[in-house]
Structure 1
Amino acid sequence: MQKDDASTLLKYDISTDPATVNISGDNNPDTAKIIIQVKADTNVLCKYISIQVPVGPDATDMYSVNPLPNSSSDNSDWVPTNDFVPGMGNDNSGNDSTFLYKHTNDGYTVDSDVTFTINGTVNDEAGTAQIMIREISATVDDGTYQIRPMTHNITKVATQDTFYLNSAVVAYLDTPGVPVALLDRNRGFQLNWQSNGSDFKLFIGGTGGQPIDLGTQSFYQVSAGLTSDTTYIIQAQKDSDYLNLEYTVSINAPDAGFTSLSANTFTDLSQGSTKILGSQHILAQGGQVDTAYWHATSDGFVIASIYPIFSSDLGITNEITLATIITGTNSFTISCIADNLGQAYNSLSIPVKQGDVFSYLCGTSSGEPGMTTTFIWVGLGTGMPTTTVGSESDKQLVQKAKNDMNAYFSKRKQKAEDFITAFETAFEKTLQPAAKEQLIKKLL
């Protein structure tokens, strides 16, 4: 076998996929294929074909060293081999990857097409890489095998870095750099991500509020940790382009949240603490309170409280204040008596079911503003009642409560008048109307 620079006998059609080979960018590796199509030629005998591709970091190298490129053949007559064949490139100690294929066809006649494909990660330097193809071939007529080389240049171009946002991961603040999949409750952590964006915002799932503006900072710290799974949406901006990445931080033994929870037998809440009551909301307050109708959007409690809040309350004497809560078909009433001996305060708490309509009213024995009465709603959860127009039956219940309240005041006044009349009879003396009225008020 002779070794010379004779032109190859076989015809090679060389292309790349993609047609334009882009170099890799930071955190954005780019791959490319070199496709070498060899046409059948029954006038040619060929024992080996080798493809030598430069690898390394330079502009004249095609692929990166890590990972090294690989190759394949679509024709079973051509198989990769580790044969040591001097002059075919696999004896080269330079920065090259050489792929040697052996022709297994009897007689070495090239009677079918074959395509070799080299695949690898393009390095990050623009330039021109030269590949070398060698064949050990002879013509059928001559039969003298020679190493016949050819070269082909492949141009690599630099493109604008592709905008990317990826690789979100969390790590504890006290063990930075160690990724964690399932976090402990209430343990501080940092959420990190990779991006070539210039500005970042963070949306926290479930809050519905404005995003947190992080500027150029590509991490977010939660020093107090979390008690339940939380989803974050990272938004990266580069020029006028935006990318979003969703990441859910999972908590070991998280607080559970349910839209609906039903217990077929019983629910045991004896372990740990239970938080179900919402905030207090004042529905009405004053010495006189207008009747209103409310629709309960959740289970809760209506509280009626007769208690001095304002300085004017402390000067009230000779007065009875009544407060009534009406829910369903029932009414519940409390009283506050203010006389010369002092003031007796009172409060009442009534449970209300979700969907029920409730109302309230208050009144005094004199018909004048009495002790400050406050009606309060405490819901289970965040449900607030909404005002509504009472049905005819609701209005009838309120009217009955008013009638009962007026009847109570009238009965007490009648008893006081009867006592004063008996007093006048016993002493055979008639009191002046003003004095008589004053005594009646004191007795009430």
Structure 2
Amino acid sequence: MPSDDKLLLDYALSTDPAPVPISTAQVTSRVRVNISPSTSAQVYCDEIKIAVPVGSGPLSLFSSAPDGSVNTNTWAETTGAAQNGSDLWPGLDPDQDYVPLTFSCDVSDSLIDYNLVFGVFGAVNETVGDVRIMIRESSRTDSTDPFTPKQGSLWLRKAYPDFYLKNLVATTPDAPTVPSTDFPNGARIRLAWESNGTYFQLFMAGGTTPIYSGTETTCTLEDGVPRDSTFVLAASMTGSPGQDTSQGGYQPIYLYDSLTVSVSDPDLTPTSVTVSDTLDVTGTSTLGTTNTGALTSAGATVSGALQAGSLATGGTLNVSGSATVGQATVTGELSVQGGSTLNGATVNGTLNGTGSASLNNLTVSGLSASSGPVALLGTGVMLAQDTSIPQAGVEAHTDGFALAQVLIPSDVSKSSFAYGLINTVGTWFQVQGGTVGSFGSAWSDVMAFNPNAITVPIQAGTQWWYTAGNCNGNQQDSPIQIWWFPMGSNPSGEQTFRILSSEELADAPPPPATPSFNAFVAREEQVAAAAADFVDRLAEALEARLADGTRADLARLLHQL
């Protein structure tokens, strides 16, 4: 859409989704607005401010403050607090609140001759209407001229949402923005889609029972798939179909989408296998007993898990995963890296096990085992430290503990009230600290340090969130630290956690209202009242008539002592 002629730069606006749907009581519509300034002439610009109307009315876009972003690190973004239009810029609607997003150029050469895009992301309110986004740029056409402000606007319309289902995509959990259609056997697969439906069912080819049912628009298959598979997604604007008690021929309305993924090393299920020499398996192998036996070979190497009704090998058997065998005879060495269940085993060589083992009947002519202390707790990692920590998310790869610690300010005589928040299992847990004060006529004035910490257990495979900050009324802010203490380590040797991307934070739970604090407002009022009482008593004792102005001056001077 065109911008006003007063601006030197041209501004192009795009939205996702388009058109912009309003939120409903059932579904919150989150919309991304991208604004791209460009020009064919020579224009220098060191700052661009975007004022986004917020509120619940038809002229407001978002119901609360949005998030700002930019496509290059040569510009920095700062989001301000919501303000009335008359208090923000000249010419803005005095009956409308705006959130200002300020984008500042960090390089000395501010010539706009490259691709530049500003992003705004937030939750749309529930009212249809036309929205005016205000833009104020600081620009010039000559590098020797001073920068001067210029103002314009862009328009977009909010409309009633249509029922939609689109963009069913498969990714790895570690790279949720990179689509993929080919995965290793058993690798985790993250499926995501876009819809304003309220209930979803995900089916896999060959099955009649959904592998996922719920209201979220993502799901992760922790065990992946063993072979090429097609997924069919059904979306509806109702709840679970199994809860319906239809009347008068009622039928729910569904939208469908499908996606096929391939597996680079799929499981195969042959009717029989005959091995005359060594059997090498790079993936998981499930071998059932046949008329000639489950597996008979000179030796075997299984990189994944092994399941067999019976096993006989005259050489070495190496299993890097778990092993479940009904009856096993191993003439050479048996080496199992994972957990093992052997209902009957005869090992004439050495038995080496680095994982757990369940052995109902075992005969071993040579046994090697290691012993020593067992460490359950891994090395702690400090994820963040500052006086203000924006909300972030973490995916736990192991069980562990999240810790938020509020430290004391460098000067413990100063008032300081800080807080740390951790969210898991849908609940925010909070710790507060800094310093603590006591003021009053009955007690002496006291200001003491007050550090505090909170530890929250986290389950492996789940996501948790944290944020922290200081209250506005502090004399000096306190630092806050966020820690992660894993239980053990990731079996694959990977990091025990992963920081969620900014896209994944779109579904993060909103933090509770932050506490407010100003310990000295009441104290100042108390001291001022005491000073005024002293002047009154002094005038009475001296039998002096003091003018109101003189009384006020004496009270003020006494208050300053």
* TM-score interval, smaller chain: 0.3 to 0.5
Q: Which has the larger share of helix?
A: 1
TM-score under structure 2 normalisation? 0.29
Structure of higher RCO (CA pairs closer than 8 Å, 6+ residues apart): 1
Q: With structure 1 as the length reference, what TM-score do the two structures score?
A: 0.36
